[in-house]
Chains A and B, each alone.
Chain A
């Protein structure tokens, strides 16, 4: 109340270009790191890293970890941790594989390829994942067992429940429609991908304008129009650039021939078809969008952040922090099951070691993306970029021919380094 900030005019012209654009320095830093990484690998691999083919593969390999990393942001922001996500992915994957190859065809008499099979299999997986997550959340919230312990136990329990359910066998082949969630086997094709790009661009621009209108409506400062338009330009260009790259990856000629044969047609001479946006990536984008809105614009999200910032204050404000914990872990379980759909569909089978070490990748992605383990801070887009950085590192090193042990050594070192940089950054901008 004393001599606080005196500036009476809420006008935003700190002169700095970044300030005018209101770009988040941390976001720029992460994108910069990813950029340097890609350029570097591209140079070392004589241009093989930044090809449409490799970028396509990178994105579909990232999806499963990225989806779980979005949920992990909420868990960590709320001052918890989930070490069981990889094991939970395995259990839900096992459930869905058993459903579609054995239970539904044998016990319910649905013929192979019956359209209900993939629907019911996925629904049961999502249900099981959500229930297991909620159960773990209940133990953490209501029985007050630390999340570290509950999910460390869950790590062992669910990994081995999956093993028990499948007797350790690889289960497959999975339902044909189910496989379209895996990536290569299910893409939108070029035309629909452009449609998505248009819709996404319109949506992004509309969202930014309506936020601006709402601010201006209350007489709050808004950034200059040129800055707003520049941002729109950058975002629309990124969206179309991304889709253009995915469209540029052509379906191999042999594969195309087989696809035509399967339909009893003959492939026209010289035909080329691009893959376009994989359905799995589209799902990831939708999950990230929805969860970003949840984080910023819903009570649920607000309470997660408030509780992470000060659990006592949240409690005293009438927030039911125990139930909140249950909901967060239920959401995490749901996302593990969704990742299980994509991971098992990508492999075409349920394998006994599916999701192994994913918990570490997921936590690393969230943390590299700027989620503070002390709670209270984290963003969904950060986790996405974190997951991309992890995956780029891993496949980049494999392409360059780095020995397997060194790959993991580097990934581990990068994780620690990323957190150090984050700590230094936070100190610089004033402990926020």
Chain B
């Protein structure tokens, strides 16, 4: 694929998707550059998760186009998204409760022995390594994830998204279940990944952490895009009023 040096890493143009007559996402456009964190904000049911699920291949869009590095791509399944180096932390975490952390980490991409059998020991070793970085306290490697706390489960989901060297990372409320210390660790992780040139979509209800971590923020309301702003140009209150009133304070450009 040709790399258009000035093209965004991801460009979602005029995306629409509806569920039985309800327009969950209505003609929304967002973009993301390498090393950039773009926050997605909006009230409950605004359409944030639905929008990113189009990018991660979970939902098929009704209309719109997706470009990666300036090339039009057709993402029809989660496999297609993974093939484009898109990794996702879903709001629901998407873990198989009956499998352990390592089996979830590698689900769909198992490490194999030379005999073509899944190599659980090797996967557990890798899992211990990455969890050691993300959550050094984690020890429950031989238990199904149903036996983990909400935060522990979330750290497994984060490990899965980070492990495979994504270039595009989607995080749908990644810190919802985390304690303050762990939330800070995820914040550090985001900055670290950003420094590596990874583009991140971050969905978060906490305006504060969006102000801290993001370069730009896109606000949605009732499936429509209210506007995209540079974080440097706005205050907490500006963002809040965009979310609540659905009006763009800059009152200019943008869709």
Contacts and interface: CB of A to CB of B under 8 A. Distances in A.
A51 interface: no
Interface of B: 56, 58, 77-79, 82, 88, 90, 92-99, 103-104, 107-110, 112, 116-118, 120-122, 124-125, 135, 137-141, 144, 146-149, 151-152, 154-155, 178-179, 181-182, 185
A214 interface: yes
Nearest to B95: A313
A305 B144 CA distance: 12
Contacts of A19: none
Contact of B78 (A215, A297, A305, A316): A316
Contacts, number: 120
Interface in A260-312: 293, 297-299, 302, 305-310, 312
Interface string A144-175: 00000000000000000000000000000000
B149 A305 contact: no
A319 B77 CA distance: 10
A430 B148 CA distance: 12
A1 B98 contact: no
Interface in A348-390: 376-377
B98 A377 contact: yes
Given A1-B155, A302-B110, A319-B107, A6 B98 contact: no
A5 B140 contact: yes
B107 A1 contact: no
Contacts of B179: 1-2
A120 B146 CA distance: 48
A1 B182 contact: yes
Interface of B is mostly: loop
17 contacts: A1-B151, A1-B178, A1-B181, A2-B151, A2-B179, A4-B137, A6-B139, A218-B122, A219-B125, A305-B98, A306-B96, A306-B103, A310-B95, A313-B104, A317-B78, A318-B79, A319-B107
Interface string A10-44: 10000000000000000000000000000000000
A218 B90 CA distance: 31
A312 B92 contact: yes
B96 A431 contact: no
Nearest to B146: A432
Given A298-B117, A317-B78, A312 B98 contact: no
B140 A4 contact: yes
- Smallest CB-CB A-B distances: 3 pairs: A309-B98, A1-B182, A309-B96
Interface string A218-256: 111000000000000000000000000000000000000
B157 to A, nearest CB: 10
Contacts of A219: 125
Contacts of A218: 121-122, 124-125
A314 interface: yes
A425 to B, nearest CB: 16
A404 interface: no
Contact of A376 (B92, B94, B98, B148): B98
A8 B103 CA distance: 21
A318 B118 contact: no
Contact of A315 (B78, B104, B144): B78
B181 A2 contact: yes
Interface residues of A, number: 39
A318 B82 contact: yes
Given A302-B103, A316-B78, A4 B149 contact: yes
Given A214-B121, A315-B78, A2 B94 contact: no
B118 A302 contact: yes
A354 to B, nearest CB: 36
B98 A4 contact: no
A109 interface: no
Given A306-B99, A309-B96, A317-B78, A4 B152 contact: yes
A432 B147 contact: yes
A316 B118 CA distance: 20
A124 B149 CA distance: 52
A381 to B, nearest CB: 18
A2 B109 CA distance: 28
Contact of A431 (B78, B90, B146): B146
A302 B107 contact: yes
Contacts of B98: 305-306, 308-310, 376-377, 432
Given A1-B138, A2-B181, A293 B155 contact: no
A316 B121 contact: no
A7 B139 CA distance: 7
Given A313-B95, A315-B78, 13 more contacts: A1-B151, A2-B182, A5-B140, A6-B139, A215-B121, A217-B121, A299-B112, A310-B95, A310-B96, A313-B94, A318-B109, A432-B98, A432-B147
Given A1-B155, A1-B185, A4-B152, A317 B94 contact: yes
Contacts of B99: 302, 305-306, 309
Contacts of A308: 98
A317 B138 contact: no
A316 B90 contact: yes
